[in-house]
Structure 1
Amino acid sequence: MKENTVQKRPCCMPDENEMFDLAELFKVFGDSTRIRILFALFDSERSVGEIAELLNMTQSAVSHQLKILRQSKLVEARRDGKQIFYSLADEHVHTIIRVGREHIEE
Structure 2
Amino acid sequence: MPARDTTSPAPGAHLRDPDSARLAEARDVFALLADTTRLHMLWLLAREESDVGSLAERCAASRTAVSQHLAKLRLAGLVDTRRDGRHVYYSLRDGHLRRLVLEALSHADHRVSGQAPHD
- 1-side partners of 2:99 and 2:66: how far apart? 23
Identify the match of residue 40 of structure 1 among 37, 44, 50: 44
Counterpart check, 1:79 vs 2:83: yes
Counterpart check, 1:69 vs 2:73: yes
- 2-side partners of 1:45 and 1:28: how far apart? 19
Q: CA deviation at 1:12?
A: 4.3
The two structures have a TM-score, normalised by structure 1, of: 0.80
Q: Which runs of 5+ in 1 are unaligned?
A: 1-10
What does residue 4 of structure 1 align with? none
The residue identity in structure 1 corresponding to 2:56 is A
The residue identity in structure 1 corresponding to 2:101 is I
Contact 2:43 2:102 in 1 (8 A): no
Q: Which runs of 5+ in 2 are unaligned?
A: 1-14, 111-116
Q: CA deviation at 1:45?
A: 1.0
* CA offset digits 1:50-79 (Å, max 9, x no partner): 111122211110000001111222211101
- List structure 1 runs of 4+ shifted beyond 3 angstroms: none
Choose 1 or 2 for highest CA Rg: 1
The residue identity in structure 2 corresponding to 1:84 is V
- 2-side partners of 1:65 and 1:16: how far apart? 26
Identify the match of residue 94 of structure 2 among 90, 98, 101: 90
Pairwise CA RMSD of aligned residues?
1.7
Alignment identity in percent? 32
The two structures have a TM-score, normalised by structure 2, of: 0.72
Q: Secondary structure at the match of 1:84?
A: strand
42 and 12 in structure 1: CA distance in 2 versus 1, 3 angstrom threshold: closer
- 1-side partners of 2:22 and 2:57: how far apart? 37
